[in-house]
């Protein structure tokens, strides 16, 4: 099969013919129908997320089950599935508390090579998935069955950015009707936070991004205001739009300590900053102590939108089906696997909300 291989830090990916390893009894072989290109893939290439090459990247994908191992219970050949980039066992302490994003057994199924290069080198896969390929072999824990007519490219986005962003608003922050929200960074994940805040009934949704295309997309997807941080301190601009008070929830959706600090400053007294973006693994985030204590501001971490994937994937697909969640307008372009490096260039250049490999 063809797959895009991360071969060297900061270098281009190499699209090659590789040989899948034999599936085990708990494994499922999936034919990938669409795979979104997320900034976390770029974080692996840049070294912000530690993962040694060579590896098959891609963690935001959908597909059709091609084969199942003898011990696979919940999936059958022909099922439509979305990959969960945090494999969830369903029975551990966290999974039983609707916290499958913190599953105790996630890492037990991420450590196996899933293909071999022509020279015999084994290939690991990103988060146990590896969706930048024609097929992927993964544990049943990594897949959620979906019955829907939503197109493949849109379904793929549910695998990471949409669940992370909408979940950040609905699950992590629990935005309420009438709340005020700011979103710093309006890529695929940030636009999903904006849509989650709209679905929750937020009254003010302020999109903060230096790129005009992102601000325009945000206004089309539910933002009520757009702020260009190049036109003055974004904290002051957001405060000016909220009567000087700041917002109930400020989401950081880039992964930079400086913008997490901005989110904290944008939150009102008693409000919260929500750190959604993944920073370089060596970074620390600093917030001022007086507002933390005396103004009771909160700083919330958020992984995978605090999602229980087997509950939330179908719920999000339902929002798409009934028109409340617009994924069609988050997809700026679709490309073949051979153009994977072009997709990363376009992301870095700020030319797309999301590219999807089909
Ligand atoms: N202020 C506001 N927005 C900014 C700034 C800034 N200082 N710097 C960059 N941005 C914007 C970019 O213009 C872009 O629109 O942040 C956005 C980031 O979007 P993408 O690169 O598309 O990233 P995305 O896939 O949405 O992921 C965002 O979430 O899941 C994590 O690892 C992921 O850390 C990454 C973050
Ligand atoms: Zn992602
Ligand atoms: Zn679990």
Which pLDDT score, from 0 to 100, does residue 90 have?
94
- Which mutation among 254, 265, 348 tests ligand 1's pocket best, with the greatest number of atoms within 8 A of CB? 254
Q: What are the phi and psi torsion angles at 61 (to 5°)?
A: -140, 160
Question: What confidence score (pLDDT) does residue 55 get?
Answer: 97
Helix (H) or strand (E) holding 5: strand 2-6
Same fold, 2-159+326-357 and 161-304: no
Residue-wise pLDDT tens digits, 240-261: 999 999 999 999 999 999 999 9
Question: What is the pLDDT, as a whole number, of residue 153?
Answer: 98
Q: Which CATH superfamily is domain 2-159+326-357 in?
A: Medium-chain alcohol dehydrogenases, catalytic domain (3.90.180.10)
Strand partners, 333: 355
Class of domain 161-304: alpha beta
Q: Where are the domains of the chain?
A: 2-159+326-357, 161-304
Q: CA angle at residue 159 from 280 to 102, to 5 degrees?
A: 60
| Ligand 1 pocket, residues with Cβ under 6 angstroms | 38-40, 43, 161, 164, 184-190, 208-211, 214, 229, 253-255, 259, 276-278, 347, 350
Q: What are phi and psi of 316, to 5 degrees?
A: -70, -40
CA 38 – CA 143 distance, rounded (Å): 18
* Number of Cβ within a 10 Å radius of residue 3: 30
Query: Which alpha helices (H) appear in 222-295, and where do they start and end?
Result: 234-240, 257-266, 289-293
Ligand 3 (ion): which residues have CB within 5 A?
89, 92, 95, 103, 105
The pLDDT of residue 37 is 97
Q: How confident is the model at residue 78 (pLDDT cuts 50, 70, 90)?
A: very high
Task: List, as one string, the DSSP characters of 85-99.
Answer: SS---SSSTTGGGT-
What is the DSSP pairing of strand 80-83 with strand 61-68? antiparallel
Q: What is the pLDDT of residue 198?
A: 98
Mean pLDDT of 266-290: 95
Mean pLDDT computed over 285-308: 97
Query: For 332-348, what is the mean pLDDT?
Result: 97
b (16+ CB within 10 A) / e for 24-57: eebbbbbebbbbbbbbbbbbbbeebbeeebbbbb
Confidence of residue 301 (pLDDT cuts 50, 70, 90): very high
Each residue of 117-138: pLDDT tens digit?
Answer: 999 999 999 999 999 999 999 9
- Quote the ligand 2 centre to 272 CA distance (angstroms): 23
DSSP state of 133: B
Q: 3-state DSSP call for residue 115?
A: strand
Nearest CA among 98, 94, 58, 48 for reference residue 311: 98
How large is the average pLDDT for residues 180-201? 98
The reported pTM is 0.97
43 is catalytic: yes
Residue 123 pairs with which residues in a beta bridge? 115
pLDDT band per the 50, 70, 90 thresholds, residue 310 = very high
């Amino acid at each position: 099969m063809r797959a895009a291989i991360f071969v060297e830090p900061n270098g281009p990916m190499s699209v090659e013919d590789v040989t899948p390893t034999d599936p085990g009894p708990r494994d499922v072989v999936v034919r990938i129908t669409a795979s979104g290109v997320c900034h976390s893939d770029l974080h692996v290439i840049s070294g912000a997320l530690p993962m040694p090459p060579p590896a098959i990247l891609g963690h935001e994908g959908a597909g059709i089950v091609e084969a199942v191992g003898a011990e696979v219970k919940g999936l059958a050949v022909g099922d439509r599935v979305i990959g969960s980039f945090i494999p969830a066992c369903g029975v551990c302490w966290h999974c039983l508390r609707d916290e499958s994003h913190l599953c105790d057994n996630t890492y037990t199924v991420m450590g196996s090579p899933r293909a071999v290069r022509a020279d015999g080198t084994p290939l690991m896969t990103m988060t146990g998935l590896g969706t930048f390929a024609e097929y992927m072999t993964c544990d049943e824990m990594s897949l959620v069955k979906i019955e829907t007519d939503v197109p493949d490219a849109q379904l793929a986005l549910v695998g990471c950015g949409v669940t992370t962003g909408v979940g950040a608003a609905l699950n992590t922050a629990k935005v309420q009707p009438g709340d005020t929200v700011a979103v710093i960074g309006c890529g695929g994940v940030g636009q999903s936070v904006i849509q989650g805040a709209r679905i929750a009934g937020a009254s003010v949704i302020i999109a903060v991004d230096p790129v005009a295309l992102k601000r325009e997309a945000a206004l089309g997807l539910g933002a009520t205001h757009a702020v260009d941080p190049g036109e003055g301190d974004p904290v002051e601009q957001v405060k000016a739009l909220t009567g000087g008070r700041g917002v109930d929830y400020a989401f950081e959706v880039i992964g930079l300590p400086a913008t997490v600090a901005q989110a904290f400053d944008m939150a009102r007294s008693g409000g919260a900053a929500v750190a959604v973006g993944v920073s370089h693994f060596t970074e620390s985030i600093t917030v001022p102590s007086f507002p933390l204590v005396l103004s009771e501001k909160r700083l919330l971490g958020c992984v995978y939108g605090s999602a229980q994937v087997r509950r939330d994937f179908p719920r999000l697909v339902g929002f798409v089906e009934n028109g409340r969640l617009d994924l069609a307008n988050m997809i700026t372009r679709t490309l073949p696997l051979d153009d994977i490096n072009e997709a990363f260039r376009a992301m870095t250049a700020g030319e797309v909300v999301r590219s999807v490999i089909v």
